[in-house]
Structure 1
Amino acid sequence: MSGDESLVEAALRVLNTADPFEKARVGDSVAAQWLGGAITRAYDASVDLPVPDRPARLSNVKLVAPGLMPKLGKGGSLQSRQAIVHSLAHTESWAIDLSWDIIARFGKQEAMPSEFFTDFVKVAQDEGRHFTLLAARLEEMGSFYGALPAHDGLWASAAATSKDLTARLAVEHCVHEARGLDVLPTTISRFRKGGDDTTADLLESVVYPEEITHCAAGVKWFKYLCMRLVSDEEEDEVIKKFHAIVRTYFRGPLKPPFNEEARKAAGFGPRWYEPLAVKEQGTNPTQHEGA
């Protein structure tokens, strides 16, 4: 690393690191330097740096289409609990890339303020820690990251929103991340019922509360962009924009039940997501795994 490296240059180093464990380590180092003041510039205004269409990734994880993924189960067996933790670790590995990509791809392009960079550096650092902890837990459970197949649906959404920051924030942070908030309480309960308090505690005390702040960052900067375009934008209009973007970039309706308490803590209430939901007709909504 050069002494005058900008944050965007450092973000690109993370994106171009293929090994997920090293990616997390490099990302944590970059985050510490930005938050500690060692990296002082978000970007060089005179230089345009290419952002990779797809971050560097090792090929040790077998990828399948989302619809062909084996069922994770409900945590009643060790095999099911391993599958759930593997799925969560894979999601977090992509979340690292998503966080650094939003910094590198959109920060300069949209002339975002320093606070935007800081918010997503913190998100990236959290995601790296989540991945590292979940992968370590997976090994304690007798498995390892790469032992099971996974899908890259999160990056497919990122690719679809690569030209529009409002779309990226809406889909990745206000839909996918919020979906994680919806399912995590049930996942935690399943681990406790399965006798795995160690994993349940990790999810409940570390992952869950931090994911609320990640969703909040998405809501915050989505609102910021809408208000910057029209300074007197009413929330109703902001919500209408959100609905239009999600319907454009996200396939299908959102699936209840929703974690209203966590979503409210992240800064958005039912008016944001209920109009986009599955219309239930006399049946109880089903819980789905994964974000």
Structure 2
Amino acid sequence: MGEIGNETLVEAALRVLNTADPFEKARLGDEVAEKWLKGDIVIPYHASPDTPVPDRPARLANVKLVSPSEMPKLGKAGSLQSRRAIVHSLVHTESWAIDLSWDIIARFGKQELMPIDFFTDFVKVAQDEGRHFTLLAARLEELGSSYGALPAHDGLWDSAIATSKDLLARLAIEHCVHEARGLDVLPTTISRFRNGGDEKTAELLEKVVYPEEITHCAAGVKWFKYIYLRSKNPALDSDFEVSEESEAEVIQKFHETVRAFFRGPLKPPFNEAARKTAGFGPQWYEPLAVKAFSTE
């Protein structure tokens, strides 16, 4: 790996991925993001072979991991215990989101010869996720708990492993399925915290996390479109426009990709307004929903 201060973005991303402590991972990620966005890091990657991307990022062993089916119910934020459980779950999700953002940069940026805008978009996503983690972890402390106090599952990273050789699949599953699911459920979660008298958590989710997660889904949609359309036109610029005909082809490819890499149908109800803001309308996801699957 290159000298710190003279490293590429991919080398810096690997440093983040190989940092085990999630708080330090978030801090380091923010530092790297600032350097890239300010122009202190200017080279995305070297032409020479890079250090391999780890199959699993470094993680501390202080969080007890269980299968998703063994996770205790989170409740509806009506009690302190439930509020702690929900925030703990969100903190854990954000800790993985940090790794997912740096992983897509390190794993696919050079391999797919992605334009600079791709790196910048996911650096911004990574920086947001680190901020979400830090703020939610601090809120969990204020609620009298801490990250690692409750069990968690690693379903998000299971999906990352399943899509580790296919950028289209990674973008579709992580950003247009899992992250979009977050858009669907966050308004209800916010309402539950507010109804439970926890305005501070509700405000954090509503004013910081929710609007930024929309931009993360938008990045997934944008680069899914780009990768597919570039396969048809190798000279495609990152500042591209999509015709109606091409959009229909992209959506068909999205359906094929989700069905190949995601188990089962998508679960409504969908947050149509937030998804539309992120750049994808009902034609993207409704054919993949429970009702559509049950009639095929």
Q: TM-score band (shorter)?
A: over 0.9
Post-superposition Cα deviations, 1:244-263, rounded to whole Å, max 9, x if no partner, equal: 11001101100000000000
Which deviates more from structure 2 when the two are superposed, residues 133-142 or residues 226-235? 226-235
2:276 alignment counterpart = 264
Asked if 1:33 is matched to 2:45, the reply is no
Q: TM-score, normalised by structure 2?
A: 0.93
- Superimposed CA distance per residue, residues 147-180 of structure 1 (whole angstroms, 9 cap, x where no aligned partner): 0000000000000000000000000000000000
Cα deviation for residue 121 of structure 1 reads 0.2
3-state secondary structure, aligned to 1:208: helix
The aligned counterpart of 1:238 is: 250
Of 43, 46, 59 in structure 2, the residue corresponding to residue 44 of structure 1 is 46
- Unaligned regions of 5+ residues in structure 2, if any? 234-242
**What's the RMSD between the two structures over aligned residues?**
1.2
CA contact (8 A) 2:286 2:292 kept: no
Asked whether the 8 Å contact 2:191–2:202 carries over to 1, the reply is yes
Give the secondary-structure state (helix, strand or coil) at the position aligned to 1:109: coil
The residue type equivalent to 2:182 in the other structure is G
- C-alpha displacement of 1:49: 2.4
Name the amino acid aligned to 1:183.
Answer: V
Deviation at 1:45, TM superposition (A): 1.4
How far the C-alpha of 1:135 sits from its partner, in A, is 0.3
Q: In the alignment, which residue of structure 2 is the partner of 1:99? A: 101
Q: Does 2:263 match 1:251?
A: yes
Q: How many residues were matched structurally?
A: 281
| Amino acid in the other structure paired with 1:33 | K
Deviations 1:46-96 (A, max 9, x none): 223200000000000000000110000011000000000000000000000
Counterparts of 1:140-179 in structure 2, within 5 Å, are 140-179=142-181
In structure 2, distance between residues paired with 1:245 and 1:144: 37
What is the DSSP-based 3-state SS (H/G/I as helix, E as strand, rest coil) of the residue aligned with 1:279?
helix
* SS of equivalent residue, structure 1 residue 56: coil
Using the alignment, how far apart are the partners of 1:2 and 1:244 within structure 2? 42
Q: Give 1:101's aligned amino acid.
A: D
1:280 deviation in Å?
A: 8.3
Aligned-pair distance for 1:213? 0.2
2:176 partner letter: C
- Calculate percent identity across the aligned residue pairs: 80
What SS class does the counterpart of residue 57 from structure 2 fall into? coil
Structure 1 counterpart of 2:138, which letter? Answer: A
Alpha-carbon distance in 1 for matches of 2:84, 2:279: 33
